[in-house]
Amino acid sequence: MNKLLSLGQALMVMLLLFSCKTPTPKDLGKEILIPQPTKLIATGSSFDWTAKTKIYVEEGREDSKGVANYIADLIAPSTGYITEVESTTNPASKKGIALVISENESFGNEGYKLTIDEKRVVVEANKTAGLFRAVQTIRQLLPAKIESDTLQAGPWELASGTIEDQPNYEFRGAMLDVVRHFFDVKDVKRFIDLMASYKMNVLHLHLTDDQGWRIEIKSWPNLTKHGGSTQVGGGKGGFYTQEQYAEIVKYAQDRYITIIPEIDMPGHTNAALASYAELNANNKVTELYTGTHVGFSTLATDKEITYQFVDDVIRELAAITPGDYIHIGGDESHVTKKKDYIYFVNRVQKIVTKHKKKMIGWADVAAAELEENTLAQFWQTKPKNALLAVKQNVKIIMSPANRTYLDMQYDSICPLGLHWAGYVDVDQAYDWTIESFVEGISKENIVGIEAPLWAETIKTIDDIEYLVFPRLPGYAELGWSKSENKNWDEYKIRLGKQKERFQQLKINYYQSPLIPWANEEIVPVVE
């Protein structure tokens, strides 16, 4: 005990010594950030985050406190700090870290200003989401070992200067197919955490398809009981109870990420058709399906029970979905007659609106009459459907398969993924421009970008990570940063320097030979 005390005392002395030391010169301009911020001015010094540093938030701002606790918890394992969060009337006047809501409209919903000097780190934003995005910048300014889950030696210095930053696109997302193979709540939370670290703000969950129904619908219990009981290859599948889904939604909300649930219909519905005879044109249930073909199933679009079913599903889902959108799929309905498909999509759009949500559909839905606040998701290699949507004044989510599909193999020897849209190595994924990709779809027609991960070939979180990394940071940057500054040769160096962070976070990333993988610290060459 005595020995412990004296050790503790010795540590205190060391800490005091540390806190009196002169600040280390550091160049903010040389720090590695993804996505690249809008504006950065370096002032050549640094702020030292010590065991005594506190985070200050304005009184009565529980939301800011949430962000403060998030970063305090995040740095705790590696620093050993128990960072105190304090509410006060004027956080920016304190020495330490201040999170301030400054109600300055010019920051927008997610923009922020980060000012770092030797005594203070001040974050200003118009909305709490902006504080959260700024905290991700702070995280990347700290040494990579900040991400370690074991105690590491400091110092934990942040280069001084000013960063003013806001996203180019309001919608920056990824999609996870939890149907072809089921992923549990823990895996989804890990996915959310990785997205959050690159300032992404939408997670689209593909919840239903031919191979499984993954979200509990209390009024149609057989959907999950039977329809959720298998997956590709015949494994046991699984589903989220509504309570588990709510847990995912809350976890995402705490990271300023909106969950968009997708119920894919009228095609991609074999799991529902296998669970309820009345949804089939011939009133007979189908067999459960564990293969990977697409385009063979359809709801009976001329039966009233189908719309009762859709109404129940959307009603229950809307009640547990705080976000504005519900995705109704609508892709590859190859066995639905065109006129039936149009009739179906028109009716389903009304059902979504009735439940106070806006509709998203894969761009195939542009065959129907779309309402102006509907979004269409461009995915095919040909833009015909997306252009039809634009003609109807509908905005587009850009997910071109040959650029953004996270399930495309990197190259011909990649052990996971498909290649129907081609191989998508890191350069192919990054080196294109959202607003000039399709002639006739320009910036004002686009809400943003989404990178979908289909799960025919992936079974574990390691598989997910292998396909997602290192492509995801690139999509995050395409959505966040201004396209004028995009330069593949410069980006690949920044990406390569994320290596140590990937390692500390234990991400199973693909070591693409296109990337100069290197540690962050530039080791001086000794002659």
Residue 311 contacts ligand TNX per CB under 6 A:
no
**Shortest Cβ distance from residue 404 to ligand TNX (Å)?**
10
Strands 157-165 and 112-116: what pairing?
antiparallel
**Shortest Cβ distance from residue 386 to ligand TNX (Å)?**
12
In terms of CB distance, is 441 or 455 closer to ligand TNX? 455
Q: 17-25 contacts: CB < 8 A, separation 24 or more?
A: 18/48, 18/50, 18/154, 18/155, 19/48, 19/50, 19/52, 21/48, 23/47, 23/48, 23/118, 23/157, 23/160, 24/48, 24/155, 24/157
Structure-token pair, residue 516: 């100069």
Residues 2-41 as x/- pattern, contact with ligand TNX by CB under 6 A: ----------------------------------------
Contact criterion met (CB below 8 Å) for 181 and 416:
no
**Shortest Cβ distance from residue 61 to ligand TNX (Å)?**
41
In terms of CB distance, is 234 or 516 closer to ligand TNX? 234
Find the angle CA(323)-CA(327)-CA(333) to the nearest 5 degrees.
Answer: 175
- Residues listed for the chain: 527
CB atoms within 10 A of CB 311: 18
In terms of CB distance, is 40 or 359 closer to ligand TNX? 359
Question: Distance (Å, rounded) from C-alpha 80 to C-alpha 264?
Answer: 46
Residue 216 contacts ligand TNX per CB under 6 A:
no
Residue 289 contacts ligand TNX per CB under 6 A:
no
**Shortest Cβ distance from residue 399 to ligand TNX (Å)?**
8
Question: Distance (Å, rounded) from C-alpha 267 to C-alpha 335?
Answer: 8
Question: Distance (Å, rounded) from C-alpha 259 to C-alpha 322?
Answer: 8
Contact criterion met (CB below 8 Å) for 494 and 515:
no
Residue 407 contacts ligand TNX per CB under 6 A:
yes
**3-class SS of residue 128:** helix
Residues 356-375 as x/- pattern, contact with ligand TNX by CB under 6 A: ------x-------------
Contact criterion met (CB below 8 Å) for 261 and 174:
no
Q: Among 204, 206, 214, 213, which residue's Cα sits nearest to residue 184? A: 214
Residue 58 contacts ligand TNX per CB under 6 A:
no
In terms of CB distance, is 283 or 381 closer to ligand TNX? 381
In terms of CB distance, is 70 or 296 closer to ligand TNX? 296
Q: Which of 118, 170, 254, 332 binds ligand TNX (CB under 6 A)?
A: 332
**Shortest Cβ distance from residue 416 to ligand TNX (Å)?**
12
Question: Distance (Å, rounded) from C-alpha 297 to C-alpha 463?
Answer: 28
**Shortest Cβ distance from residue 504 to ligand TNX (Å)?**
31
Residue 331 contacts ligand TNX per CB under 6 A:
yes
**Shortest Cβ distance from residue 347 to ligand TNX (Å)?**
21
**3-class SS of residue 131:** helix
Residue 294 contacts ligand TNX per CB under 6 A:
yes
In terms of CB distance, is 349 or 457 closer to ligand TNX? 457
| CA separation, residue 234 to residues 185, 225, 284, 377 (Å) | 21, 15, 22, 30
Question: Distance (Å, rounded) from C-alpha 86 to C-alpha 16?
Answer: 22
Judged by CB under 6 A, the chain residues 160 through 199 that form the site for ligand TNX are none
Instruction: Tell me the number of residues near ligand TNX by CB under 6 A.
Output: 10
Amino acid at 53: T
Catalytic residue selected from 332, 371, 435, 520 = 332
Q: Which of 56, 256, 379, 510 binds ligand TNX (CB under 6 A)?
A: 379
Q: Which of 51, 246, 320, 418 binds ligand TNX (CB under 6 A)?
A: 418
In terms of CB distance, is 320 or 418 closer to ligand TNX? 418
Q: Is the peptide bond before 470 cis (omega within 30 degrees of 0)?
A: yes
Question: Distance (Å, rounded) from C-alpha 162 to C-alpha 137?
Answer: 12
Residue 454 contacts ligand TNX per CB under 6 A:
yes
**Shortest Cβ distance from residue 454 to ligand TNX (Å)?**
3
In terms of CB distance, is 128 or 231 closer to ligand TNX? 231
- Whether 332 is a known active-site residue: answer yes
Structure-token pair, residue 322: 């705080």
Q: Which residues bind ligand TNX (CB under 6 A)?
A: 294, 331-332, 362, 379, 405, 407, 418, 454, 456
* Active-site residue set: 332
